Amino acid sequence: MASHASRPTDAKQRQREQHHAADPAGGPLTTDQGVVVDHTDDSLQVGERGPTLLEDFHFREKITRFDHERIPERVVHARGAGAYGFFEPYHSCSEFTKAAFLQDPSVRTPVFVRFSTVQGPRGSADTVRDVRGFATKFYTAEGNYDLVGNNMPVFFIQDGIKFPDFVHAVKPEPHNEIPTGASAHDTLWDFVSLQPETMHMMMWLMSDRAIPRSYRTMQGFGVHTFRFVNAEGQGTFVKFHWKPKLGVHSLVWDEAQETQGRDPDFNRRDLWDNIAAGNHPEYELCVQLVPETDEHSFDFDLLDATKIIPEEQVPARPIGRMVLDRNPENYFAETEQVAFHTANVVPGIDFTNDPLLQARNFSYLDTQLIRLGGPNFAQIPVNRPVAPVRNNQRDGYHQGQIHSGTSYSPNSLGGGCPVHTGADPSAFSHLQERVDGRKIRKRSESFKDHYTQAALFFLSMADWEKQHIIDAFRFELGKVGSMQVRERTVEQLAHVHHGLATAVAEGIGVAPPEKEDTPQPEPSPALSLAGENNRGDGSIRTRQVAVLVADGVDAAQVGAVREVLEAGGAVVEELAFHDGSVRDGDGREHRVDRALPTVASVLYDAVVVPGGPSSVQELVADATVLRFVRDAYRHGKPVGALGSGVGLVAKLEPEGLRLAGDGDGAVADHGVVSDTSTGGAGEEFLSQLTAAVAAHRHWDRPPVRH
């Protein structure tokens, strides 16, 4: 299994074979009317060189169908990847919610999840700097529940009426449709600099959260404060979190940019390949619960979607787990046609008056009507509830049901069906919240602090995360042509953190801001990727490790490395200059997994250079090999070297790469693990290498110059 495989893996091959065996179209080719076609390679024409005849209904049908294959892509979140799976609660949540799927640990609810980027079109690259969508459809016994979230817990704006403005600003500019899949352009930053409520979200967008290593290592958030409602009709405010079992891991910007070219499908492929190989991604559903009586006890408004509740203030309690264990059969039918809607809720889950959520509750149904060509999209298999559907809604484009009987209520001719007595305790009934006020267009005073939580995020970061944020602001604003926009953004940043604003200003040719009092909130360690809670289970499961080999490689060392890493669940691939095999140090044939020119360092999580003097001699003479190792080092990845392989890594010492001191045994320095002894890969080396891979990245290395 590999996250960047270009040839079918065994798992994929098996899946295809099973698919073909089950294919109901396993007979002769027919038209859409079921007429068997005798020939589909040549159109019907007058003589061998004559014109094509209009009478050729097969030709016309085939081309017409082809011409109509596309539907409008999503206006945002166009590029996505989906998977099926299940959700099961750990225990009953009846104290807070009556939602049936959150009651019984023995009940598994099927789910479909679609991950996405926001800005780019369907064909854009995966590893762009962007928010990631994390939308889950729970096919519960009480109807479909959609949790349409993102991988960041806040949003750019507070009121949905600003959504078209924000999206127009971030999307490619209208005159030249540039840039694709990027926020580094004038209109977005113009908007940001004039709309300070964006500041908190911009901190997240400039952080490494915006370039996830994998959808499998990404958190998800419901963002809004929602409401749980229990059987007694008692409401509790709730914020939803998905926490990946493998921990939260990101790329670095240089790597993300290169990956866009090396494998534009990097995240999509990673998800698909891992599910196909049985490495089923798992996420814990956690909730932050706030009693209704505490609605006003925070120094921000729970209805403001630009704010988090720090986990140190209200812990995120695990209530269940979701496992994604099945790839879709057909991208269009499932991943493209899935239709999420924030208003798809079930009894026990309700809304709050968050004005962003209220707007969403209108938008999603509306957008599906145009995107999926009419009102019957809930009948598309991926959208169909498992709960029975009975109502008087009729007709419309693409009606797939053959209804009979009456279609109005009240009726007597249809036996009064479908019934709605109002007395059914399992029916959805809206929480009876008392609301009164004047009709006004006015943002609440309690929504006005745009800087404290932006500062909270920055102050909670590890030093390397802070530096990545500064670099990202410099990169993005450095692409902005208007100096005015750059200056205004720095002014905004100055309200968040003076040091950040100054560092950004220095990078983009703008005068540093005056020192001013900025908010000093208590940091929230849970926000940092370095935080314990984001490290996952500490295993090396599914990490991709490259082993560089050539003729003469020490096969025993490779075998030992492979055995230990694979036992821990990592995926090891031997890369040589060509596909097929090399000769090992004893002259025996040694199979390799992939040809070096087809891959790159950025597609792996770690690299190992085994010994074997002639192998290393051949490898060291090749600039792409040195680049492979240099990039891994620059991107903070573990580097392992054995025997003469240490000499190859040492070639990069003059550039600044740091190897641990000499000596016979295994030594490690910031994730560079080496052992110059000529024997096999010893236990000490293997355990240090495993620990280095488990740490994922090693940030505080001395930099290399190249």
Assess 150 for contact with ligand HDD (CB under 6 A).
yes
Give least dist CB 109 to ligand HDD, A.
19
The 3-state DSSP class for residue 287 equals strand
**Is 171 a binder of ligand HDD (CB under 6 A)?**
no
Q: Which of residues 376-435 bind ligand HDD (CB under 6 A)?
A: none
Instruction: Report the residue number, 159 or 675, with the smaller CB distance to ligand HDD.
Output: 159
Complete DSSP assignment for 147-199: EEEESSSS-S-SSGGGHHHHHHHHSPPTTT---TT---SHHHHHHHHH-GGGH
Q: Which is nearer to ligand HDD, 369 or 660 (CB)?
A: 369
243 binds ligand HDD (CB under 6 A): no
Residues 114-133 that bind ligand HDD (CB under 6 A): 114, 116, 133
Could you count the other beta carbons within 10 Å of the beta carbon of residue 637?
Answer: 27
Q: DSSP labels for 197-216? A: GGHHHHHHHTSGGGSBS-GG
Nearest distance from C-beta of residue 338 to ligand HDD, angstroms: 6
CB of 221 to ligand HDD, least distance (A): 7
Smallest distance from the beta carbon of 113 to ligand HDD, in angstroms? 9
List 143, 149, 264, 513, residue binding ligand HDD (CB under 6 A) = 149
Binding-site member from 44, 359, 431, 695 for ligand HDD (CB under 6 A): 359
Q: Please answer whether residues 596 and 624 qualify as being in contact, where contact means their C-beta atoms are separated by less than 8 angstroms.
A: yes
Instruction: Output 137 or 185, the one with its CB closest to ligand HDD.
Output: 137
User: Which residue number, 44 or 359, has a Cβ lying nearer to ligand HDD?
Assistant: 359
148 binds ligand HDD (CB under 6 A): yes
C-alpha–C-alpha distance, residues 639 and 644, integer Å: 14
Reading the block at residue 568, the tokens are 């821990």
How many chain residues interact with ligand HDD (CB under 6 A)? 27
Q: With CA atoms as reference, report the closest residue to 534 among 316, 278, 692.
A: 316
Residue with tokens 């509306």: 366
CB of 189 to ligand HDD, least distance (A): 20
Looking at the chain, how many residues does it have?
A: 706
According to CB under 6 A, which one of 84, 86, 163, 473 is a site residue for ligand HDD?
163
* Least separation in angstroms between CB 78 and ligand HDD: 8
DSSP string, 356-389: HHHHHHHHHHHHHHHHTTSTTGGGSGGG--SS--
Residues 42-101 that bind ligand HDD (CB under 6 A): 74-77, 80
Residue nearest ligand HDD by beta-carbon distance: 133
Q: Smallest distance from the beta carbon of 126 to ligand HDD, in angstroms?
A: 14
Question: For ligand HDD, which is the closer residue by CB, 71 or 427?
Answer: 71
Find the binder of ligand HDD among 182, 201, 305, 564 (CB under 6 A).
305
57 versus 364: smaller Cβ distance to ligand HDD: 364
| Structure token digits, residue 329 | 């059969």
Stretch that binds ligand HDD, among 253-261, 360-368, 446-454, 579-587 (CB under 6 A): 360-368
Among 363, 446, 539, 617, binds ligand HDD (CB under 6 A): 363
- Is 158 one of the binding residues for ligand HDD (CB under 6 A)? no
d(CA 274, CA 277): 5
What is the DSSP code string of 103-133? T-TTPPEEEEEEEEESSS-TTS-SSSSS-EE
| Closest alpha carbon to 108 in 280, 321, 275 | 321
Question: Token pair for residue 137?
Answer: 């459809």
Q: How far is the CB of 163 from ligand HDD (least distance, A)?
A: 4
Listing from the earlier edge strand, what are the strands of the sheet with 594-595? 594-595, 571-576, 544-548, 606-609, 639-642, 672-675, 667-669
Cα distances from 40 to residues 36, 37, 59, in angstroms, run 11, 7, 8
Q: Look-up: residue for tokens 């939308």? A: 135
Radius of gyration of the chain from its Cα atoms, rounded to whole angstroms? 28
Identify the residue among 145, 226, 340, 377 touching ligand HDD (CB under 6 A): 340
Rank residues 239 and 701 by Cβ distance to ligand HDD and give the closer one.
239
361 binds ligand HDD (CB under 6 A): no
Which x/- pattern, by CB under 6 A, does the window 263-302 give for ligand HDD? ----------------------------------------
- Counting other chains too, the contacts that 398-403 makes at CB distance below 8 Å and 24 or more residues apart are 398/373, 398/374, 400/376
- The span from the CA of 151 to the CA of 210, in Å, is 8
Helix (H) or strand (E) holding 63: helix 57-67
Q: Which CB, 156 or 628, lies closer to ligand HDD?
A: 156
The CA-based diameter of the chain, rounded to the nearest angstrom, is 92
- Which residues 6+ apart lie within 8 Å of 347 measured at CB? 98, 99, 100, 142, 229, 426, 427, 428, 429
- Residue 148's DSSP bridge partners are 135
Q: Which of 249, 360, 495, 634 binds ligand HDD (CB under 6 A)?
A: 360
- The residues carrying an active-site annotation are 77, 150
356-364, 420-428, 521-529, 550-558 -> range binding ligand HDD (CB under 6 A)? 356-364
The CB-of-77 to ligand HDD minimum distance in angstroms stands at: 3
Q: How far is the CB of 440 from ligand HDD (least distance, A)?
A: 20
Q: How far is the CB of 392 from ligand HDD (least distance, A)?
A: 26
Half-sphere exposure of 541 (CA within 13 A, CB side): 18
Identify which of residues 116 and 327 has a Cβ nearer to ligand HDD in the complex: 116
- Site for ligand HDD contains 170 (CB under 6 A): no
Query: Interacting stretch for ligand HDD, rule CB under 6 A, among 103-111, 355-363, 382-390, 697-705?
Result: 355-363
Q: Which residues bind ligand HDD (CB under 6 A)?
A: 74-77, 80, 114, 116, 133, 135, 148-150, 155, 160, 163, 223-224, 305, 338, 340, 356, 359-360, 363-364, 367-368
